[in-house]
Structure 1
Amino acid sequence: MPKASARSVSAADPASASALPDTYEAAMTELDQLVGQLESGDLPLDQLLAGYQRGAQLLQHCRDKLQAVEDQIKVLDEGTLKVWKPQ
C-alpha cells in the first residue's frame, strides 16, 4: 500500500488524537505507523493506552470509509453487491 505521508506519528501526540485523516490511505498509514510503535515495546504505559485508543479511532474511521464506498457500489449495482470477477 502506498505511503500517503512521511509524517511520523507519535502515540502521545495530542494534535493527532483530535482530527482524523481525510483519506482512507492516510488513516491506514497512520495506523500502520502506530501499530509499529505499539509493537516496539518502547512506549511508556500511558502512551500505550493513548496509542491504543487512537488506533481504535483510526480503525473505525477506515471501516466507516470502506462501508461508505460499499454502500455507493450497491446503489450503482441496483442494491446488490456482486462478486467481482477479473477479466
Structure 2
Amino acid sequence: MPKPPFQTPASYEAALEELEQLVSLIESGQLPLDQLLTGYQRGAELLQFCRDRLQAVENQIKVLDEGTLKPWTQE
C-alpha cells in the first residue's frame, strides 16, 4: 500500500528549518533503517522544494535587473 505524499512546506524558511532538523536526526545515527529511508526521501523532497523556490526568486531578479517589471506568479 503506497504511503501518502508528504505535506508541502508553508514557505522556503519552513522547508529549510525542517531539512536542517532532519539532517541532524539522520546524522545522529539513532534512526532505525525504515525511518532513515523515509527521512532521506523527505529530505530529497525538501531540497527540491528549496531549489525550486530559489530558482523562482533568481528568475524574478533577472527580470528586475533587465528593467522589465512583470508580475511574479508563485508556482
Identify the TM-score tier after normalising by the shorter chain: 0.7 to 0.9
Number of aligned positions between the proteins: 65
Letter in 2 for 1:73: I
Letter in 1 for 2:63: V
Q: Which blocks of at least 5 consecutive residues in structure 1 are unaligned?
A: 1-13, 80-87
TM-score by length of 1: 0.69
RMSD, aligned CA: 1.7
TM-score by length of 2: 0.80
Runs of 4+ residues over 6 Å off in structure 1: none
Q: Which blocks of at least 5 consecutive residues in structure 2 are unaligned?
A: 68-75
Give the percent of matched residue pairs that are identical in Structure 1 and Structure 2: 69
Letter in 2 for 1:52: Y
1:26-75 alpha-carbon deviations (Å, 9 max, x no partner): 00000000001100111000000000000000000000000000000001
